[in-house]
Chain A
Amino acid sequence: MQDRGSVDAADFDDFYRAEFPRLIVLARGLCTPTLAEDVAQEAMLVALRRWRFVARLERPDLWVRRVCINLAVSSFRRRMVELRAVVRLTGRSEPEPLSDATEELWEAVRSLPERQAQAAALRFAHDLPVADIADVLGCTEGTVKQHLSRARHTLGSALGRADEGDAE
């Protein structure tokens, strides 16, 4: 009989390697740099715990992004992650800072209204199409387009550039 545990573990490892880096980018758009890695890691921990269920989903990647977003925006859950981060970071330095321009961009994304920030972070981190963002956020494609359009407008103003780009 095939060892279920090892098969599951191999599947999860591949999933983790493919998904985790951009999950951190997603979290950077939604919470502070100190917390981003922990929020992404916590989302992966949820996926690992439920892997037998998650692995059978058509899009486990969208599922874990939704969990990451929920963790990043829920004040209670974020507090719990924050507590763990404080413990984890005791005795070690803060994450290496990114360049000012990058920090400024993520700060601007984080200061957007919650849903706009989520839509923008998903778009930026994963380059997701509108339909997938709608799936993750649980809203219609029209709403996502509206969030993205407003987010781009706000970000353009906040970052001092009138973006003439491809607003959806």
Chain B
Amino acid sequence: MSLDSRVRSAVDETLRGSLDVDQGLHALRRTRRRRSAGRIAAGAAVVALMLAGVLVDRHDSRPEPAPTPGQVHNGVMFATSPGRLLAPVIGQRLPGVPLTVDDAGPLSFSADGRRVFYAQHRIVYASDVDTGERTPLAGCPDKVCVAAVTGDGDEVAFGRGGRIEVHPLSSSAPIVDFRVPGPVRAPVWAPVWGPDQRRIAFLGGEYGRRGPWLSVLDTRTGSVRRLARVGQTSGEQPAWSPDGSTIAYVRHRAGEQYAPVELMTVPSDGGRPRRVHELGECCIRDYAAVAWSPDGRLLAATYHSPRSHYVGGPVYTVRPDGTGWRLLLRGLYDSRLAWQPVLTERD
């Protein structure tokens, strides 16, 4: 018997002897429910600890310097914990910040930090952080709500397959549809508006061996600039620097078995990507996340180490030049980070 026929016979026999598929599917869903319950319990425990004010290992307990008038300062920071619960990492829970959000939807603060944008059950909302008053902005057109809201809340962008649709919210202007270069079926993922409210950073173009591109769409001209490959991504959202000059992102080093995940930055108008910090091996099960501090001085990142049996990981901070990597908060966080800007009055 040749090797080929022996292989065919072995494959057939293995297929016949395999677990019944429906039984396997049932077992899979049971396991998923059990683990989800565990994650929700873990997330709830984290939230309870936060609410009780039991913060562990805050890396900098010194009082913040007095705010300089007319500047942007760092407010509260939130991260999703397992079970997709939003938990405060810095500061206290704000009334307008929801407990859960759609995982592919927006999670960002308005430019003035007074509203938070998010999606729940495929509706994009703006919520006043102080009063909790919630305003629906738009319904997501697809079953997965891939969306981003501008800093002033006037436009929402939806990733729809290989396209980005920009919906004006405060005018009767038409919806603008941008086609992203690349294979038609390669989806746009993780869109984020730049602070100029003109450009959108997103992942897409193709999902081949080297993963998709981090690209920037200029909504005025319709041009798309490819900035960097992100590797075998899990769809982590990029983060704009407050001045719009740089984009931070998570890169999964492509083509390696235990690919390290790196925190990277790249100029938003093109240029050489720069590694800020190597996060370590990650993230076959979970996501990493990155956020830029509103004052522009720090990057925050969270990732799940495969060495950990738990889902989620601590939050770290690092300066954009790669120095000062520090543990901010132990805990189980994953996938999303949002950092509130606080504007002080001018003298």
Residue A86, interface by CB 8 Å: no
In the assembly, what is the distance between CA of A16 and CA of B13, in Å? 20
Query: Quick check: which of B19-27, B44-52, B322-330 contacts chain A, the rest being far away?
Result: B19-27
Q: Are A80 and B209 closer than 8 Å at their CB atoms? A: no
Measured between beta carbons, the chain B residues less than 8 angstroms from A163 are: 2-4
Q: Are B2 and A161 closer than 8 Å at their CB atoms? A: yes
Q: Are B13 and A164 closer than 8 Å at their CB atoms? A: no
Q: How many residues of A contact B (CB 8 A)?
A: 61
In the assembly, what is the distance between CA of A73 and CA of B256, in Å? 12
In the assembly, what is the distance between CA of A137 and CA of B10, in Å? 23
Q: Are A58 and B143 closer than 8 Å at their CB atoms? A: no
Tell me which of B21, B186, B187, B307 contacts A76 (CB under 8 A): B307
Decide yes or no: A41 and B18 within 8 Å by CB, A46-B284, A165-B3 being known contacts. no
In the assembly, what is the distance between CA of A70 and CA of B24, in Å? 21
- Chain B binding surface, main DSSP class: loop
- Chain A binding surface, main DSSP class: helix
Interface core residue of B27, B31, B185 (most chain A CB under 10 Å): B31
A contacts, CB < 8 Å to B:
1-2, 4, 7-8, 13, 16-17, 20-22, 24-25, 28, 37, 41, 44-46, 48-50, 52-53, 55-59, 66-67, 70-71, 73-74, 76-77, 80, 95-96, 98-99, 101-102, 105-106, 124-125, 134-135, 138-139, 152, 155-156, 159, 161, 163-166
The 10 lowest CB-CB distance pairs between A and B, nearest first, are A138-B255, A163-B3, A56-B187, A102-B10, A105-B10, A24-B18, A52-B144, A53-B235, A102-B13, A25-B14
- 7 extra A-B contacts, CB within 8 A, seeds A58-B206, A98-B13, A152-B3: A1-B121, A20-B18, A25-B18, A45-B35, A99-B13, A138-B209, A161-B1
